[in-house]
Structure 1
């Protein structure tokens, strides 16, 4: 009987594997440059300031300032949402202070797995 030869490694020639991996990486880089070049031709360069079609900055700043003022007003507002049930809206800072003074609610029973039958 002849002596059976067995493969001892998955990749017998490491240089060939590294060369193949490098070739794949190189092809991916070339493809990325080609796609980026095609996208630049199709969509064109980014508009610079003062060009037609560019978004005006002042209206955007005014819109943002108005939204931030509204959010700030809501965050610091006191109002009754439902006086009959004694539900009110209070500022965030005051709510945080109350929770620290009174403590956070705790569960009366240990939490179990949530299934379709145990969902409230």
Structure 2
């Protein structure tokens, strides 16, 4: 019988195999962290367990009512921002009336279609 040479190792270059395996594992880790970060941005953080540190609903309602009252007061207030230059804050309802009475700015020239000749 002739001497037969059999393969004694599965991979001739161990370093190349380790590099490939490391690249695969690294890619999976980076992909996993990317998906987890995207999911945290889209769906928000996970809710905490228990109710420690939770803000009571009554306090949130009071905070919202206070903020909405401040916004409503600012929307209905008259105030000089820069008296020298004649810049003032006026109520939203009055600004709407003035805009409708005076009209909105329009283009003087009608828009031209975009063609290859106009891009040159």
For the pair shown, which has the larger CA radius of gyration, 1 or 2?
A: 2
TM-score after normalising by structure 2:
0.46
TM-score after normalising by structure 1:
0.46
